[in-house]
Structure 1
Amino acid sequence: MQPILILGLPFEFILFGATLLGVALLHHRTLTVALTGLIAIAAYKFLFTGFDGHPGLEGAGLHFAHHWVELANLGLLLLGFAILSRTFEQSGLPDLAPDILPDGWLAGLALLALTFVLSAFLDNIAGALIGATIAAHVYQKRVHIGFLAAIVAASNAGGSGSVVGDTTTTMMWIAGKSPMDVLHAYVGAVPAFLVFAIPAALAQEKHQAALKHDVGGIKADWLRVAIVVAMLVTAVGANVLANIYAPDLLHAIPVIGLALWAAIVATAVLRTPDWKVLPEAFTGAVFLLALVLAASMMPVENLPAPSWQSALGLGFISAIFDNIPLTALALQQGGYDWGVLAYAVGFGGSMLWFGSSAGVAVANMFPEAKSAIAWLRAGWLIPLAYVVGFVVLIALLGWRPH
């Protein structure tokens, strides 16, 4: 079966590009656009090219069998972390944030720094949702889109140097890379954070000032706080233990997502979760999974030769092309500086709201963020921060392929 080429490009790329353009422009119909694009790409491959060298239904089945674990894991995490963030909100702890955070624009900066740190130990989705939940309370639900973009960027930057902080770094860990091989991503992530975080905090304070101290009359539900901690510890613990003792299991079943949901079900007898958040979270999860599955069908058998220039480009590509298949290809190819790659594909997705799972999760909480134009207009410093961080990383440490 011969592929159709248009101006030298496989037709799958044309369909995928049209899908991304539709998502960017029709932000009130993002799910419809994503599903339409996925169906069109799948139909084209079924009729003309096959899937990974296998025709028809056989190829489609083999392709899905190869990717179902990562899709299931991502979907379970998005739904589970939606429950987690709602439980955290119901605990009353975010209402106490004005008493904890500093005054003025420093409140926003401290909140972004907290998101950065949390994402290094938890997961970029969880870090972003916790940061967005606190922001909703501190700023009385009037959160600037630029600040939402900064929350996502802080979570992605914070997770880029940790093997438990991002799906891509966890993939590197599963593939046998040492946690130390990605740790130096923070040499780029920290200066990038400083570039976007301070202006974003200033812009948010101008848009809506943080609540003052001494809000009064608020008592935290510490049992709900303990439940949130239990959920996080279970998910992170499952990730760490499976990587150490049973790495093959991570390729067979969605261990992390199942562990998170086991904690949700087990703690439901203590405090009933707010199941009403699931329909909206489900819509967002289906949207992201449709894009991830469509991206996995692209005929990208090879990446450019490993170099700092190609890694820089992969960061920009990650904003529109899911970073999970990109990372998988890079691991197959080898020869990368894994810390540089982790920074590039991890932080690069922050440039657009649908460029990372953290961005999709935050946009589910704040639907006004589902506009690529508004995101770019308000968060234009994030692409600049990406380049600055990358330059600092290469200038200080150079390109050190493993």
Structure 2
Amino acid sequence: MSIATLLIVIFVVGYLSITLEHNLKLDKAVPALLMGTLMWAVLAFGFNEGWLSIVDHYGDVYNLTSGEEEEQLYGFKRNLIYHFSAAAEILFFLIGAMTIVEIIDLHRGFAIIKNMITHKNKRRLLWAMGILAFVLSAIIDNLTATIILVTLLRKILVKRSYRIWFAGMIIIAANAGGAWSPIGDVTTTMLWIGGKVTAVGLSEYLILPSLVCFVVPFFIAGYLKPFRGKAIRKELIADVEAHRLLSSKKMLWTGLAAIAFVPIFKGITGLPPYLGMMFSLGVVWMVSEYVKPEKNLPRNQKHVYSTHKALSKIEFSSILFFLGILLAVGVLESVVWGSINGEEVGALRYAAESISVAIPNMDVVVLLLGALSALIDNVPMVAATMGMYTYEIDHPIWHFIAYSAGTGGSLLVIGSAAGVAAMGMEKIDFIWYLKKIAWLALVGFLAGAGVFIIIEKFFYA
């Protein structure tokens, strides 16, 4: 077995371990980190022995047998630094966004949103929750929006048999809302930071398809039995967590405005998005230090609302998972697998060319990738496409990839972070979701895709 083939084997085994995390009872960050680091170790061993070549993001090829050793080793090291720094940009962006959301939550800012939901009619409640999920996910991200709204559902609806229907529809709305925003989903953030799309271009292309993906299944669901009649509501007043603090309103609007300011910061300065997110975090952190959550808060209780506590609540296992995935994909992008038109290319680029030969229509390819994201994590899939294709920034294919990877995850309850969160919170059965919700998600996914293709062919040709 060649070293290049061994790298593919490690990636496949690691990928399978990630998708089977529930069966293995192992946090997916573990196989991701082992996979990413082991692949770089094997790549370095093969390179140092002169058994393989690597190609960097400029297209320069390095091999110890084809030039001065010191220069070739430096090229390898520089390539590693590039991939690690590219991953770090995404990770620091996510850390900043997650911290701001946790600060808002500590000050019970989301209680303001929760207390706005007063509908007793199930159909109106469905639309209210859907609109909130669609809008919130575009601002704070689809996972956080889902967690907030499912928590709200548990405080509103008595019967779980109805709650899971609402939770299933929230997954569809949250994933649709996250697909058109550069900060609404990890995959759109990756494409934005990776220089594949701009914030304005992504929103311009995807706002309408994403809206259709959300509206169509909700319109159909409104006529189904679970969403008819009045909801049997719980009493919200008894919920201590729903009570606002003196700082709730201030921190909610400060936090949301700070996150929304990140694309503006990039547009004004031209600096990478993670710097804008760090600036926004600094502003929110500063404000949180001076606001008073309670009238006479004892000094020894101030830590309850501190940013240090918000930082302790971040799921760093998710951050490490992304690191492992991005490092592994960096190896596949770097290892020379073959040549195209006389030019040596990495494994991902070679795979892209092979797929294009087998399926000439890229729209079909991207739709299949979207459907596949319901079975396997969309983060490595999008990371792989970023290394496979060389389309210019804001090319329609990048926008279609963002749409398909983001909304395709709704087809199965395990297909997105939002779905997994709702599944865990409400114990949603996989088969139940497949029978009751998946067909609605599919209708929305295809409807939105159809709108995107029409826009692409007739308005942006």
The alignment's TM-score, normalised by the length of structure 1, stands at 0.75
CA apart distance, 1:229: 1.3
The partner residue of 2:438 within 380, 397, 402 is 380
User: What's the CA shift string for 1:265-298, capped at 9, x where partnerless?
Assistant: 5314423437278346333443444444444444
- Which of 51, 55, 78 aligns to 2:98? It is 78
1:158 to partner: Cα distance: 1.6
Q: How do 1:231-246 residues align onto structure 2 when only pairs under 5 Å count? A: 231-237=255-261, 239-246=262-269
Alignment pair present for 1:394 and 2:453: yes
The CA distance in 2 between the partners of 1:379 and 1:50, in whole Å, is 48
Judged with a 3 Å threshold, the aligned counterparts in structure 2 of structure 1 residues 50 and 151 are, in CA distance, closer, same or farther, namely: farther
Instruction: Give the letter aligned to residue 278 of structure 1.
Output: S
Structure 1 13/109 Cα, relative in aligned 2: closer, same or farther at 3 Å?
Answer: same
The gaps in structure 2 that reach 5 residues or longer are 47-51, 57-61, 63-72, 294-303, 334-347
The 5 Å alignment of 1:92-131 reads 92-93=111-112, 96-99=115-118, 101-131=119-149
- The equivalent residue for 1:255 is 276
Distance change >3 Å, CA 86–CA 283, structure 1 → 2: farther
In structure 2, the residue matched to 1:87 is: 107
Residue 341 and residue 201 in structure 1: after superposition, are their counterparts in 2 closer, same or farther (change >3 A)?
Answer: same
| Deviation of the 1:103 alpha carbon | 2.3
Q: CA RMSD in A?
A: 4.4
Letter in 2 for 1:87: H
State the partner residue of 1:307: 362
C-alpha deviation, 1:63, in angstroms: 2.4
Q: Which residue number corresponds to residue 316 of structure 1?
A: 371
What do the CA deviations read for 1:211-234 (whole angstroms, capped 9, x no partner)?
538755775335212202101111
In the superposition, relative to structure 1, how do residues 374 and 13 fare at CA in structure 2: closer, same or farther (>3 Å)? Answer: farther
Q: Aligned to 1:138, which of 151, 156, 173?
A: 156
Aligned to 2:5: 5
What are the within-5 Å matches in structure 2 for residues 267-282 of structure 1? 267-270=288-291, 271=293, 272-273=304-305, 275=309, 278-279=312-313, 281-282=315-316
Letter in 1 for 2:83: H
Q: Which residue is 1:212 aligned to?
A: 233
Which of 174, 178, 184 is matched with 1:159 structurally?
A: 178
Instruction: Give the SS at the match of 1:88.
Output: coil
2:425 aligns with one of 352, 366, 377: 366
Q: For the Cα contact (< 8 Å) 2:36–2:326, is it kept in 1?
A: no
Specify which of 15, 19, 22 is matched with residue 20 of structure 2.
22
Instruction: Pick the aligned partner of 1:342 from 396, 402, 419.
Output: 402
Counterpart amino acid of 1:234?
A
**How far did 1:354 drift?**
6.8
- 1:187 corresponds to which residue? 208
Measured against aligned partners, the alpha-carbon deviations of 1:226-276 in whole angstroms (never above 9, x if no partner) come to 202101111211x133221222333xx543155235413531442343727
- Structure-2 change in CA distance of 1:31 and 1:135 (3 Å): farther
Q: Within 5 Å, which residues of 2 pair with 1:278-293? A: 278-279=312-313, 281-293=315-327
Alignment-derived partner of residue 254 in structure 2:
230
Secondary structure, counterpart of 1:220 in structure 2: coil
SS of residue matched to 1:185:
helix
Q: 1:63 maps to what in 2? A: 83
392-401 vs 312-321, which deviates more? 392-401
Q: Is the 8 A contact 2:155 2:236 kept in 1?
A: no
Contact 2:209–2:449 (8 Å) recurs in 1 = yes
Q: Which has the larger radius of gyration?
A: 2
Tell me the alpha carbon deviations over residues 168-210 of structure 1, each in whole angstroms, 9 at most, x when there is no partner: 556449657472564242333233224544677899958xx95
CA distance in 1, matches of 2:86, 2:388: 17
* C-alpha separation in 2, matches of 1:285 and 1:368: 25
Q: Which amino acid aligns with 1:5?
A: T
Q: Secondary structure at the match of 2:107?
A: helix
8 Å Cα contact 1:236/1:256 also seen in 2: no
Using the size of structure 2 for normalisation, the TM-score is: 0.67
Residue 337 of structure 2 is matched in structure 1 by none
CA distance, structure 2, for counterparts of residue 191 and residue 131 of structure 1: 21
Which amino acid is 1:118 matched to? L
1:325 aligns with 2:325: no
The aligned amino acid for 1:311 is V
1:42-91 deviation per Cα after TM superposition (whole angstroms, max 9, x unaligned): 444344468755777665444212321112212332344244345336x6
Q: Which residue type is aligned with residue 93 of structure 1?
A: I
Q: Residue type matched to 2:263 in 1?
A: V
| Cα distance in 2 for residues equivalent to 1:149 and 1:38 | 33
Secondary structure of the corresponding residue to residue 396 of structure 2: coil
**CA gap 1:330/1:195 in 2 versus in 1, 3 angstroms:** farther
In the TM superposition, residue 400 of structure 1 has moved relative to its aligned partner by: 6.4
